[in-house]
Amino acid sequence: MLWGLHEVRYGISRAFGAQLHRFISVGTRTRPGAFFAGLFSTTILQSSMATALILTGFCTQGLVSVSAGLAVMLGADLGTTLVVQILSFDLSWVAPLLITTGFILFRGYERAGKWGHIGKFLFGLGLMLMALAMIRESAAPLRESQVLSVLLTSLGGDLFLPVLIAALMTWLMHSSLAFILLLVPFATSGILPVSESLMMVLGANLGTVFPPFIATLKDKPPARRVIGGNMLIRGVSVLLCLPFLGYVEDLVRLFGDDPGRIIVNFHTGFNLLIAIVFLPLTPIVARIGTRLIPDEKRGVDPGVPKYLDEKAAENPSVGLAAAARETLRMADLVETMLEETMMALRHNDEKLVAQIREQDNIVDRLYRAIKMYMARISQEQLDPDEATRYVQILTFSTNIENLGDLIDKSMIPMTLKKIKEHKRFSQEGWMEIQEVHQFVVGSVRLAQNVFLSDDIRLARQLVERKDELRMKETRLTVSHMERIREGVPEAIATSSLHLDIIRDYRRINSYMCTVAYPLLEGKGQLHQSRLIPVE
């Protein structure tokens, strides 16, 4: 059953992981939306822990408030009970069909993307249903076990021991869903009394918070506040419910006397009541979490990645999206370096030059982080689309880093040379440099759009700009030589500087154009060579 549950989570997260991330991100804009985002995501993923780990990544990046995060967790905890409701029915008759269909899809589309992952999901679901049927059959003879009878009798006299045992087992299984489904056949067979079973349900609800709590111990305070706040809500709810468990059992029996249904309905009712009570109180719980887990007292290091969530790397589609966002952050920094280089040239500002060089160090650190992160993603099995995106991200981030080095090692020394030798461009020459600068900055921005959207029209436009810049460079070089011929003093003094700066801008533009080539080549819109064939 645990293996089947793992296959279900893996298949769904690989097939729809990126969509679920976007759904949670959009849903958390309002508290009710956050609740239903958690409910839906967990119903699909069949794991509140998986939802919690997605959520903590958003909280760490500051995209989701603690209050909204707690609302997501309330919905996630209720979502697991809906899955239990469905799987608690005897659906073993459909298990062979699910296993067969899942196996055929997985083997047929193993390297072809989404359908292979859907096959894995169906295969895992079939395994879970088959395992539940086997557990039901195996549980019946245990009613005659004298050893088990003695153990259960000892549990009956203690209010907390069944809760602690269930919490420990849920922690070890990393799934309240698996534990509750394991509990149902034992209660249905009469092995476990209903009263002890309900205590164990409370223990399962408590134990389900331990794995995400341990997994986020080293995360930033906002992520720990969400998980810690959810643990506080669960712990208070279990303690308040325990003394009234006898009355609650009588109330749940009104919906049916079958022990299995009593357990499942109590599990759902308990989480529904928690959601109703605590959803309006999430801002208060968030403030308590902020007091218990204060912000770290240290400055923000711009060289530390903002979007490379280590947990997301386990899901290639989500991890690649995170790497793409960090790469775009690199591109923004390099664009700033370009703009500030132009300002340093204009105002002869040596302090700004030092700042630009520090920014290049930040770009280098981010690039190293992206490479290491991508190396971890590559250890997972990538489908063809993911493999293509993997190469695209790695290539674009490498070109961005090369662009930063070009500014640092070529354009900055030329800027310092101009400052130290007190040179100044002619009015016409400076206007030409500004013209090329604005053109290339436009290419940098267009390249980011191509990288983000894979828009073939924008890709063509980007490559067309390369030829446009080549012709512009020729025109401006002729214009510069004409000023030298006319004896313009500034043009003569800054001739090599002028031409080298325009040359570097052309190199920068070429780096940016590389992002368009794979798209155009894939659509058959790119010549193999500019040379005319010679017969």
Cβ pair 459, 520 in contact under 8 A: yes
Q: What is the pLDDT of residue 488?
A: 86
Q: Per the confidence metrics, is the pTM higher than 0.75?
A: no
* pLDDT tens-place string over residues 136-158: 777 666 556 655 555 555 565 66
Residue 375: CB atoms within 10 Å = 11
Residues in the chain predicted with pLDDT less than 70, given as ranges, are: 17-18, 61-62, 110-113, 139-158, 296-300, 311-313, 378-381, 528-535
Q: What is the pLDDT of residue 120?
A: 86
CA gap 183, 176 in Å, rounded? 10
Q: What is the pLDDT of residue 535?
A: 60
Q: What is the pLDDT of residue 364?
A: 93
Q: Which one, of 453, 459, 310, lies nearest residue 389 by Cα?
A: 453
Q: What is the pLDDT of residue 115?
A: 81
CA gap 49, 29 in Å, rounded? 21
CA gap 65, 56 in Å, rounded? 10
Q: What is the pLDDT of residue 321?
A: 81
Buried b / exposed e across 444-455, counting CB within 10 Å, b at 16+? bebbbebbeebe
Q: What is the pLDDT of residue 149?
A: 54
Distances, alpha carbon 122 to alpha carbons 5, 9, 383, 478, in Å = 11, 11, 18, 68
Q: Select from 1.20.58.220, 3.30.2020.30, 1.10.12.10, 3.10.28.10 the CATH code of 316-522.
A: 1.20.58.220
Q: What is the pLDDT of residue 443?
A: 92
Q: Which one, of 360, 356, 331, 328, lies nearest residue 342 by Cα?
A: 356
Domain ranges of the chain: 2-292, 316-522
